[in-house]
Structure 1
């Protein structure tokens, strides 16, 4: 580690102290938590920590009510004892297929206490995907919501399974057991301390095929500093999370908030008005969402938004998909200067964060790297690009390094910097702009087109709610641009109007040859556009 990296690390630990994440006035608790982190995954370590320092503080609120940190700790221990009796021991892999609610949180903490490995499953899986991922990750048991009972038909009938949430009126299989059953049947017997953290697997978004598994054996304290550095986390605050917790952003923000003994409010399914109500009712300090969710909130009629007081918000943290310049501006108009745009991935963790004043200067920017992170650009010949306003491949150095996919593959690394898979450029002010995915580039008639530029232009129109641009096979040009447009309710833009708008603002070769109107665009639960679905769309 060079001197600059050493100084960054010292600053990071200073930030952990000043934010209240570690308390040097309570060295015994700090040392105990550090010791726990060497044998438990953070999902268990941080709940146990907050249960010791603030047992009666509200830790979680969902549709079933509230749980204190003491209750989260005790109930997860009872569940762990029940799972242990069912034969789940250190080294086992369990799949968790659950929406955002107490069942997901308790399952992760219980697994962590046992030293078993967690595979966090995507709630948008189809049955073949689910079965294939379970086989690849060697899943030996499944904890799941009742709505996903049908997916489990693809798994061996004798595989242990437990219900994390049961919808009212659901007919359960004979002998089915829920987490509530495990809590009722088991006590707080002391569990054997794992020899090492069981680890957890976060799946990539799978926008280009079967999601890959990105394992993390443990989480570095430096990863926490990356969240604290450029985002307004506070101790004993209130956070509303509507971003899926099975994915990196939701999980990362929940972990940091748990370590700060926040009250964390969540809901199983996103609803724009219900989210505003949660913020208002709980006077939330922070909201964690994906851009498509924020889009639906700002598009609510003004009279509906006016019913809810969101002035308590000090930060809206967005990640998971691109924040368009138009949405960046609109969100600031509706909520004030509180939007923070987080850029990263399952593999590189956090790369950069844009703060409100940076988004005001360069709408849509992803900002600058936080402590312990750095970003470089490299060209197609792996040569570093230092020039401003030159698009090149984005590479990230992070304090939370990726350990390689579970199938043995890895991301390209140059000089210790890992590929994010995106391309972008730096502005004259040093702000990073992401221009699109490296593999999204469309070569049409010999010209390179990144669809995000065309999409952002279309989204500026008042009559367009959502838009996507893909390349489809063309005999003459190799690829031709096809735009998919979701009109704003009550508006009927025409194909000719849309083409003319692009022609007036961008180069001729960036004008879509076709425009297809849809009621909605295909997106995964983290808001990422499923471009392959649109490429295969039959017109």
Structure 2
């Protein structure tokens, strides 16, 4: 970290009340815990020492204090040690958002094991390939994924974290191990095990991106632009196995705030839990935000949501119209985070940024830098000129577990996206570099057309892809999800696009779907659209 960034980070942490100059012992204790246990178990341990009786988690089964979370993971860690697991083992976690996930990731930190966070949308073959590559020796999973887990070798030890049908249980369960094992503190492991996040895998088998955080200073990369406060409540709907859900979990722990989870996302349940727990923050992916807003004004009005100061959206592109709808419903509380599995956070748009330029992903917070480069590796600095997006941050990874990495220029890592800056220095993402459509010699980025389509009052969701064309090389095809009871012909859609954009950006084909194919983190699966 550069000296200027270090000073800026200290200021941000002090402003967020995570660092008190009059209590250097607290800072040293935090640093020690994170260095020995890793950032997730370390942050939880610090919260348990400072605020033991504060509610740390509310999930489908009820509430747990920070002290109870600490004790539960102590017991699970001890049980795993008795089973022969220890530092150096790799433990896969295939769970939805609930206490079992937290128990597992905290216990991994306490024995020094590496946790691999597995996508709940995996097919059996994907799971088997990833587990073999990462060297998974044990797996913690929800019962519903038993058919998928069956693809793993018998040598992989299995632990059930969530049970739907008790009569069908023939594996050790996390709850049973916790209930029958001593829960006193363990000696710290020789080294923290770390966590492996997986890429989305939209172009093949997901890659493993190790995430090892050794200092609480990197929290400033989020807190610089997102005004979390201590001892509040945050509803995390985004999957915790994904970077945005996991990162906001550790921020919530660091703030000694209550994490509110729901095992399966439901828009009405989300609003009810925001109301019941007076949540100050909501963490979602765009498709979740859309489903909440689609409930309509009359349903939204049934729940008290005035406590919300932050709606943090990430995981896929937030369309301008969707962000504007959220502001109309909840007020100026939208924070649009842009990052990737490899670099974590790159930029964050604040409500002020969004009001000035809807659709922007904002500017880099302290500790992060973003530059645009052209195809020849030259810096793009002119407003509205497109370039490839490169980022560095304190959370940037060191390379995939398979040995390869991402392209870098002067220490900044490629995100694979193309974007531009406006005259205020706000960043806009125009799309993935490999999603660009070349039609009749003209370059078209789907995101621009998609954002326009979803702004139409009759269109709920839309995607644009390039399909082969004998004359133009590729032609644009739009896949449209209409609002209930809405009608819109292909000709009307084409005319609408031509009215606002260049004619070559209008789709020559239109197909209607009930919903677009997306992965569990909301990313559009373009390969399935043809």
Corresponding position of 2:20: 23
1:280 paired to 2:272: no
- Per-residue CA deviation, residues 452-490 of structure 1 (Å, 9 max, x unaligned), is 011011001111110000111222222111111011011
Corresponding position of 2:222: 227
- Give runs of aligned pairs for residues 137-152 of structure 1, distance below 5 A: 137-152=134-149
Report the Cα distance in structure 2 between the residues aligned to 1:449 and 1:308, rounded to whole angstroms: 42
3-state secondary structure, aligned to 2:511: strand
3-state secondary structure, aligned to 2:305: coil
Report the Cα distance in structure 2 between the residues aligned to 1:148 and 1:406, rounded to whole angstroms: 25
- Give runs of aligned pairs for residues 352-367 of structure 1, distance below 5 A: 352-367=347-362
Corresponding position of 1:483: 478
Deviating more after overlay: 318-327 vs 500-509:
500-509
Shift of 1:407: 1.1
Report the Cα distance in structure 1 between the residues aligned to 2:276 and 2:399, rounded to whole angstroms: 42
1:134 paired to 2:131: yes
CA contact (8 A) 1:481 1:513 kept: yes
Unpaired runs of at least 5, structure 2 = none
Corresponding position of 2:248: 253
Give the alignment's TM-score, normalised by structure 1. 0.96
Deviating more after overlay: 187-196 vs 43-52:
187-196
Shift of 1:189: 4.6
Report the Cα distance in structure 2 between the residues aligned to 1:180 and 1:346, rounded to whole angstroms: 31
3-state secondary structure, aligned to 2:30: helix
- Per-residue CA deviation, residues 158-177 of structure 1 (Å, 9 max, x unaligned), is 3211011111x354353x11
- Count of aligned residue pairs for this structure pair: 530
Deviating more after overlay: 321-330 vs 187-196:
187-196
Report the Cα distance in structure 2 between the residues aligned to 1:429 and 1:27, rounded to whole angstroms: 39
Match of 1:375 among 342, 358, 370: 370
Report the Cα distance in structure 2 between the residues aligned to 1:102 and 1:503, rounded to whole angstroms: 50
- Per-residue CA deviation, residues 383-404 of structure 1 (Å, 9 max, x unaligned), is 1111000011111121222110
Corresponding position of 1:41: 38
CA contact (8 A) 2:390 2:414 kept: yes
Unpaired runs of at least 5, structure 1 = none
Shift of 1:498: 0.9
Corresponding position of 1:184: 179
Shift of 1:190: 4.4
Deviating more after overlay: 398-407 vs 118-127:
398-407
Query: Once superposed, what is the RMSD of the aligned Cα atoms?
Result: 1.2
CA contact (8 A) 1:220 1:399 kept: no
Deviating more after overlay: 498-507 vs 421-430:
498-507
CA contact (8 A) 1:146 1:170 kept: no
CA contact (8 A) 2:137 2:155 kept: no
Report the Cα distance in structure 2 between the residues aligned to 1:341 and 1:45, rounded to whole angstroms: 27
Report the Cα distance in structure 2 between the residues aligned to 1:511 and 1:170, rounded to whole angstroms: 54
- Per-residue CA deviation, residues 24-60 of structure 1 (Å, 9 max, x unaligned), is 4433332122112222111110111111001000000
Report the Cα distance in structure 2 between the residues aligned to 1:290 and 1:384, rounded to whole angstroms: 31
3-state secondary structure, aligned to 1:38: helix
CA contact (8 A) 2:30 2:216 kept: no
Corresponding position of 1:164: 161
Corresponding position of 2:455: 460
- Give runs of aligned pairs for residues 492-503 of structure 1, distance below 5 A: 492-503=487-498
Give the alignment's TM-score, normalised by structure 2. 0.98
CA contact (8 A) 1:220 1:400 kept: no
